[in-house]
Amino acid sequence: MFKKRKGAYDNVLSEVDFNENVFGYSTYQWQSSDPSVEGDQQVLHGLCRMCMQGDCATSVHLEDGVVVKVEGREVPPNYGSLCPRGNSATMNLYNPYRVKTPLIRTNPEKGLEIDPKWKEVSWEEALDYTAKKLKEVRDEDPRGLAVCEGWGNRETIMRIPFRLAFGSPNEIGAHGSLCTVHYGTGLIHGNFPISVVDLEHCDYHITLGRSIGPNIATVPGTRKLTKALKRGMKLVVVDPRSSYEAAKGEWVPIRPGTDLAFLLGLAHSIIFDVQKYDIWFLKNRTNGPYLIDSQGDYLRDEETGKPMMWDLTDSQAKTFDAEFGEVALEGSFSVGKKEVKTGFQLIKEGFLEYTPEWAESISTVPAQDIRRIAGEFIEHARIGSTIEIEGFQFPYRPVSVNTERNVMNHRGGTYSDLVAKIINMLAGAIEVPGGCLGCGYRGPQALAPGPDGTMMPGYEAKDRPFVFPPDIGMHTFYPNSHTTPHLVAHALSDPEKYYLTYEVKAWLNIGGNIIKYNANPEQYVNMMRKIPFSVSIAYHMDEPTIMSDVVLPEHSFMERSRVAPFWPQHQAASYEVHALQMLQRRQPVKPIYNTMHVDDIFTELAERIGILYGENGMYDYLNKDVDYIIKENGLNLREPYLLDLNQKHTLAEIHELQVKSWKFGEGETMEDLERDGHIAKWQPKKTAYNYYYHPGNQTRHEFYIINLKKTADQLRQNLEKHQIQFPGVEDDSLVFDLYKPVPYWVPSSEFGVSEEYDLWAINWKTPYYSSDIGGVVGNPWLAEIYKKDPWEAVICLNSATAETKGIKDGDRVTVESRYGSLEGLVRISELFHPDAVGISGAYGMGTAQSNPLSKEGPLFNRLLTTKEDTLDSVSGGIEIAPCVRLIRKGGLS
Ligand SMILES: Nc1nc2c(c(=O)[nH]1)N[C@H]1C(S)=C(S)[C@@H](COP(=O)(O)OP(=O)(O)OC[C@H]3O[C@@H](n4cnc5c(=O)[nH]c(N)nc54)[C@H](O)[C@@H]3O)O[C@H]1N2
Ligand SMILES: Nc1nc2c(c(=O)[nH]1)N[C@H]1C(S)=C(S)[C@@H](COP(=O)(O)OP(=O)(O)OC[C@H]3O[C@@H](n4cnc5c(=O)[nH]c(N)nc54)[C@H](O)[C@@H]3O)O[C@H]1N2
Ligand code: SF4
Ligand SMILES: [Mo]
């Protein structure tokens, strides 16, 4: 029987009454700390979380306390629609495979298929035991705790404050190695997470290896793309697979992993064939005219240290902010004893060899198509035109080329993104109506110039400081990387080689799946086996959870009370969302099992460890609103609505303070939010474009990517200073070669391999699987439809390729890369590039105690490697398109 506790949590954790519920599991009579659900409301304001977008507004309908329907609400950002995942949310709540009560392991042997021999325990026992173990680690060395997070629960507001109060620097994004998409956007847009097309104005959009909406069934993205297509926007989809989006535009099939070649060919064609680009933009809003010395650095004025440009009128170099007759965009000049060239000139010379014919030889995209697309892109850019929005004149450039993880997750992948940015800059289509826009942040900070006149790199393009000895994620050696679960695995397996000076003794998993969603799953299983104590705040018995010593079951998302500031991510781009400031509310349904709200779990643990109260306690960090990279979870608490550091607070109290502190609010209260489910305010439309804050020549983007060179120079110096080698690579030129300021062709690690491996495997997200947030893989309603989809969870092959190999539709084959293999059923189609082997989503694997559905289908990630010499050293990303061979049952084909 659960022991009654005194204090502010009385109303959450009291009166436990272990009844048998419909599923036959013990639960307790829940009494909400949330006034909204204390009555018998029949319709609740919901907030979907069946994908990372997590902002579609829903109505949750109940009958006799049972959820009978979830539907979209007619408010932003989804305006009534839900995708297949959102529609299946009911089954997320009533999933019989959830963890239903706290568990402590009794079997010391660990493995995905080994029964942990769980002991069901009370919350009191689970929390006391976990806190005692974590406290022991903290007393010895707080760095001994690693917190591993992921999209499974990014809603928690207390994960980061808990870790900081604990004193551990080690947060690991479980998801990072296959999602390295942020550098270019941080550098060119000062934004996060990626850059998106302005679908409200764009007329010609080239999209490479990414999804705008329909491919992953993102509701706001699909709405906006549909409108843009109706309006007549031309869509060019460069992809080895003819996706749903490709079907709505021109499909340009490309050989997997060769997008950099295509993009270099496109840039070449604009410069040398079309010979038309936005000279005003390049001269005024980029560092293209800056003079570069023979070392590749800016020529600087001796007195002021400022970068210089060449004035054609009086033939001399001047600081960039001086008065100019006519700025030189191209050319070579002598300044004193120095021979210098403009940044633009160097890029132009660098791109000379990348003719469309050359690009065709690598990417298979016909040279004539590359030339045509280059011409159409520039034609649609309307160079020189303007548009007035609310009395403000913007350049109007309705074109954009965008890339994402399937283009960037290769050695050289950061260059692909940067070449796409260069193409947008050639058209003048950066941060202006119609063009390519940073996704998340709107305001003066994004494009703010530094002392060199160029905008300050933001987010991951801003170097992390060189800290030695390094953290377990090795960010010291990869200062611009995304999260690096793979490097953590390497470092923990060989601490000395990676200069680690302390041990990881405790692991806290919260909604991340380090095992399944990266490469080489076994390495993470081995790593987790060696960690002395691990705890998982879990929804179901996924791979990291079955490896744990303690399982703390959390509420499913519909049971989680939430107040969330809206933060546009990934695909959503238009005035509708980009000028929108919104608070959203999720009224929770009553929990059906013996679970807790994730943030109540953190509070209870923090209190027991002794890190909840006082200065540098968890509440203090909540008040400080530590600089979250994604502000979506930031509380933004401010005077006089801060938490009292010496008193325990319920979540309901914190939500109340959050609403009162909301910086776009005008005195709204929790009642307002409770009544309407959201508070929405649109800022003036012109502020949806960051150009507005720094117009004309008030800021510049890096066309010549000097930031890469600066980072590499510093990294080299630091390695020398500490007299250390770059860990994990034999030859560090493999690393430094990717930091050159002029992008160039870098073949991925999967080219030039033995001829046996004659195809390349590719992967994509789908309307059913966008990641496993909400446990979509085990959702029976979704399974009912994904099992009918011929392309889901199978091995897709082009018909001609299949014929040459004697493979027929329905055959079983093994797909083998140099690193791993998988088996599956073949589906044949004209809609795949002849060199591609397509495997969607992330099916397969599972554990001894997970939903059997999670074991079905091939797991693409088994084909991948995390070896350092295959990485993109700038982003830290792993190779996503491995070369493979097919083995048909009964022999090699
Ligand atoms: N094959 C393949 N691999 C991929 C990708 C892909 O498209 N295909 N995508 C890559 C990308 S871009 C990313 S960002 C990463 C994402 O990888 P992760 O950040 O690890 O995220 P998720 O897939 O959301 O799942 C994490 C775990 O949380 C569990 N979970 C679901 N709901 C809940 C919940 O309410 N609470 C808790 N505690 N856990 C929950 C899931 O079942 C899963 O085991 O994966 C990468 N890996
Ligand atoms: N609704 C919703 N939206 C999401 C997410 C979600 O969970 N829900 N997850 C978000 C996250 S974390 C991320 S990182 C993004 C990532 O999402 P995206 O990168 O946009 O999506 P993917 O489906 O992985 O890949 C997109 C396309 O790349 C193609 N592709 C595969 N290999 C290649 C190649 O070699 N070259 C080219 N040109 N194309 C290739 C695939 O066929 C696919 O059509 O999505 C985000 N969007
Ligand atoms: S896109 Fe789908 S899964 Fe994602 S929040 Fe919206 S309805 Fe839910
Ligand atoms: Mo991602």
Half-sphere exposure of 439 toward its Cβ, with a 13 Å CA cutoff? 26
Helix (H) or strand (E) holding 584: strand 580-586
Rounded distance between C-alpha atoms, residue 419 and residue 762, angstroms: 22
- CATH code, domain carrying 494: 3.40.50.740
Say which residues have a Cβ less than 8 Å from residue 350's Cβ, sequence separation at least 6: 742, 743, 744
Strands (E), 294-350: 308-311, 316-319, 332-335, 338-342
Tell me which residue has its CA closest to atom 14 in ligand 1. 175
Is residue 454 assigned to a domain?
no
Is residue 341 assigned to a domain?
no
Say which residues have a Cβ less than 8 Å from residue 5's Cβ, sequence separation at least 6: 13, 14, 124
Ligand positioned closest to the Cα atom of 558 = 1
Residue where a domain terminates, one of 534, 553, 572: 553
Is residue 174 assigned to a domain?
yes
406 C-alpha vs ligand 4 centroid, how far in Å? 11
Is any atom of ligand 1 closer than 6 Å to the C-beta of 767?
Answer: no
Mutate to test the pocket of ligand 3, among 52, 55, 82 (most ligand atoms within 8 A of CB): 82
pLDDT at 890: 56
Is residue 732 assigned to a domain?
no
Looking at residue 10, what DSSP letter applies? T
725 C-alpha vs ligand 1 centroid, how far in Å? 34
Determine what percent of the chain falls in helix, strand and coil, rounding each to the nearest 5.
Answer: 30, 20, 50
Strands (E), 103-259: 103-104, 119-120, 145-149, 171-173, 195-197, 204-208, 234-238, 250-252
Is any atom of ligand 1 closer than 6 Å to the C-beta of 773?
Answer: yes
Residue where a domain terminates, one of 553, 573, 608: 553
Length reported for the chain: 893
Q: Which atom of ligand 1 is nearest to the CA of 556?
A: 35
Rounded distance between C-alpha atoms, residue 11 and residue 61, angstroms: 25
Say which residues have a Cβ less than 8 Å from residue 370's Cβ, sequence separation at least 6: 262, 265, 266, 269, 356, 359, 360
Is any atom of ligand 3 closer than 6 Å to the C-beta of 763?
Answer: no
Residue 553 main-chain phi, psi, to 5 deg: -75, 130
Q: Which atom of ligand 1 is nearest to the CA of 771?
A: 23
Q: Which atom of ligand 3 is nearest to the CA of 773?
A: 3
User: By residue range, what is the domain housing residue 790?
Assistant: 759-890
Q: Is the pTM of this model over 0.85?
A: yes
Instruction: Give the pair of three-digit tokens for residue 405.
Output: 């993880």
CA trace torsion 132, 138, 139, 143 (10° rounding): 160
428 C-alpha vs ligand 2 centroid, how far in Å? 26
Is residue 137 assigned to a domain?
yes
pLDDT at 144: 97
pLDDT at 25: 32
415 C-alpha vs ligand 2 centroid, how far in Å? 18
CB-based neighbours (< 5 A) of ligand 4, an ion: 179
**Number of domains the chain is built from:** 2
Ligand positioned closest to the Cα atom of 246 = 2
512 C-alpha vs ligand 4 centroid, how far in Å? 12
pLDDT at 893: 43
Is residue 873 assigned to a domain?
yes
Rounded distance between C-alpha atoms, residue 851 and residue 96, angstroms: 9
Is any atom of ligand 1 closer than 6 Å to the C-beta of 155?
Answer: no
Rounded distance between C-alpha atoms, residue 2 and residue 124, angstroms: 7
pLDDT at 6: 33
396 C-alpha vs ligand 1 centroid, how far in Å? 39
Is residue 125 assigned to a domain?
yes
pLDDT at 746: 98
Residue 484 main-chain phi, psi, to 5 deg: -130, 65
Is residue 133 assigned to a domain?
yes
pLDDT at 24: 31
Q: Which regions of the chain are under pLDDT 70? A: 1-40, 571-573, 626-634, 890-893
Whose tokens are 């940067």? That residue is: 418
pLDDT at 631: 53
Tell me which residue has its CA closest to atom 8 in ligand 3. 86
Is any atom of ligand 3 closer than 6 Å to the C-beta of 53?
Answer: yes
Ligand positioned closest to the Cα atom of 822 = 1
pLDDT at 23: 31
Q: Is the dihedral of CA 71, 76, 81, 84 positive or negative?
A: negative
pLDDT at 662: 87
Ligand positioned closest to the Cα atom of 181 = 2
Tell me which residue has its CA closest to atom 18 in ligand 2. 210
Alpha helix locations (H) across 144-252?
159-166, 183-189, 219-231
Residue where a domain terminates, one of 511, 531, 553: 553
